[in-house]
Amino acid sequence: MNIRFISARILTMKDEEEIYEGSLYTQDDSIVYVGPALTEAEEAQKLPAGYKPDRTIDCGGNLLMPGFKNAHAHSGMSILRSCADDMPLSDWLNTQIFPREAKLDAQMIADATKLSVLEYLTGGMTACFDMYLTPESEAQSYKDMGYRAVLCGNLNNFSSSVEYTEEMYDKLNHFDPLISYEIGFHAEYTCSDELMRSLSDMAHRHNAPVYTHLSETKGEVEGCIERYGKTPAAYLDQIGMFDNGGGGFHCVHMSDEDFDIFKNRGLSVITNPGSNTKLASGIAPISTYLKKGINVGIGTDGPASNNCLDMFREMFLTTGLAKLREEDASAVDALEVLKMATVGSAKAMRLFDADVLDAGKAADIIMIDLNQPNMRPFNNIAKNIVYSGSKSNVAMTMIAGRILYMNGSFDDSIDVERIYTRAQEIIDTIR
C-alpha cells in the first residue's frame, strides 16, 4: 500500500536535523519521500514514476518519527508477568522463573510472544531484539503479527547447543524479510568455558557479532573474576568472542578495561534501567559510555523482570538515573536518550535500514499525538517526549509500510481477544 502523510511535524532523527513541518510518502515497505510539503507538480517530479497514494492521512500537526527499537527483550516471558516480584535477581531466577519456564513449550512461548507484540505496538516500538527459548516458534509469531524482530541466541549449559545456534543462524536469517537472527548466549555464569569457546569459534566462521547478558550485577562480575581472573568483558574478549563486534545487555558494573574493550571492539551497550531498578542491580554508567563514544541502545528486558514494556519509562529512567548517579542534572541529555531509543538501538540490532526517516529507509514509523495536555505547550517537543511522553501519546505504529496500530485499535488481522485468552490459559496451566 502507498500512504501519503500530510500536515505533519517530522523528526527524522538524522544528525543535526531539527523538527520541521512537511509530508512523508511510503510505497509498499519503504519511505520514498520525506521533507517539505509537495505540490501536485512536485509530487510528479520527486516521487517514483506513476506513484499514486492508496490512502492520505492528515496528521493534523502531530509528529512523525522513527519507531522505538526495543534492543533487549524476552518476549515470551509476558506469561510470567508479576509471578515473581520483589525478589533479588538470583532468587528470582532460580526459585521462581526457571522452574516455571521449564513447563513452557514452544507453542506457549509463541502465544506469549504475541501478547508482548501488542504491548510493543501500543508503545511505538517497531522492532525488538528478542532472546528467549524457542526462536523458531517466536519467529513464526512475529511473522504472523507482521512485526519486525531480531532473534538472539540464548545458549547456556542447560538448553540449546552451539550446533542448534548455528542451525538457527542459517535458518532464521532466511526465514522472512522482517526476521533476522544474531549469535548470542545467556551469560558467562550460565555457560562453561568450553561452551563459550566453541561459540566463539562458530562466530569466527561466520564473521558474526555476538551478544550476551554482561556485568548485570556485582555478584556476576565477582564470580567471573574468581573463575577466570578477569571481568566478564575481559574474559570474553580474551577468547575472541567480540572479535566481530556485538554487544552486552545491561553492562551495569564495568571497569576501565571493560570500557576500552567496548570502545576498541565497536561493541554496543544495551541499557535496561527499568529492570535494573526493579531488581536492584545498579545504575549503568551511561555518561561514561557517551563520553567514550560507545554506542548505547535501550531495552525493556523481559516483562517478568520489568514488568512494563514501555520505552517512554525506559527513556526517562535512562536520563533520570544517570543524573542521580553522576549527581549532575545536566548528565545524559534527553536528546541523546531519544537517539538511543531509535538510532542507537537500531545500530545495536544491525537494523541499518530502519534507523532514521529518509527516502529508501524502511517505513517503520510512529506518530506521536501532540494534542494532549502532556505535550503542550511547544517549547521543546523532542525533549518533552522523553520527560513527559507516555504510551497514550502513540497515535500510530507502522512497520514495513503496514499500520498495525492506530488511534487505540489494532489491525483487523490481529485477534486481540484470542491472544488474551491464550495468555490466561497458559498461566493457569503452569502455575
**What residue ranges do the domains of the chain occupy?**
2-66+362-410, 68-348
CATH of 2-66+362-410, one of 2.30.40.10, 2.40.128.20, 2.40.50.140, 1.25.40.80: 2.30.40.10
Q: Matching CATH topology for 2-66+362-410 and 68-348?
A: no
Contacts of 329 (CB under 8 A, 6+ apart): 323
Separation in Å, CA 333 to CA 18, 72, 287, 419? 16, 22, 10, 38
Range 68-348 has CATH code 3.20.20.140: yes
Which pLDDT score is estimated for 88?
Answer: 83
DSSP annotation of 54: S
Which pLDDT score is estimated for 89?
Answer: 78
Q: How far apart are alpha carbons 83 and 205 in whole angstroms? A: 40
Model's pTM, two decimal places? 0.97
- Closest by Cα among 285, 344, 281, 360 to 318: 285
What angle do the packed helices 106-122 and 135-145 form, to 10 degrees? 40
- Closest by Cα among 59, 51, 68 to 23: 59
Pairing of strands 20-27, 402-406: unpaired
Pairing of strands 63-66, 2-10: parallel
Q: What is the chain's pLDDT, residue by residue, as a tens digit (431 residues)?
A: 999 999 999 999 999 899 999 999 999 999 999 999 999 999 999 999 999 999 999 999 999 999 999 999 999 999 999 988 998 878 888 898 889 999 999 999 999 999 999 999 999 999 999 999 999 999 999 999 999 999 999 999 998 899 999 999 999 999 999 999 999 999 999 999 999 999 999 999 999 999 999 999 999 999 999 999 999 999 999 999 999 999 999 999 999 999 999 999 999 999 999 999 999 999 999 999 999 999 999 999 999 989 999 999 999 999 999 999 999 999 999 999 999 999 999 999 999 999 999 999 999 999 999 999 999 999 999 999 999 999 999 999 999 999 999 999 999 999 999 999 999 999 999 98
Which pLDDT score is estimated for 93?
Answer: 83
Contacts of 372 (CB under 8 A, 6+ apart): 392, 393
Which pLDDT score is estimated for 263?
Answer: 98
Separation in Å, CA 419 to CA 80, 200, 203, 424? 15, 38, 36, 9
Which pLDDT score is estimated for 388?
Answer: 98
Which pLDDT score is estimated for 98?
Answer: 85
Which pLDDT score is estimated for 92?
Answer: 84
Q: Work out whether the CA dihedral 320, 221, 244, 133 comes out positive or negative.
A: negative
Q: How far apart are alpha carbons 270 and 296 in whole angstroms? A: 6
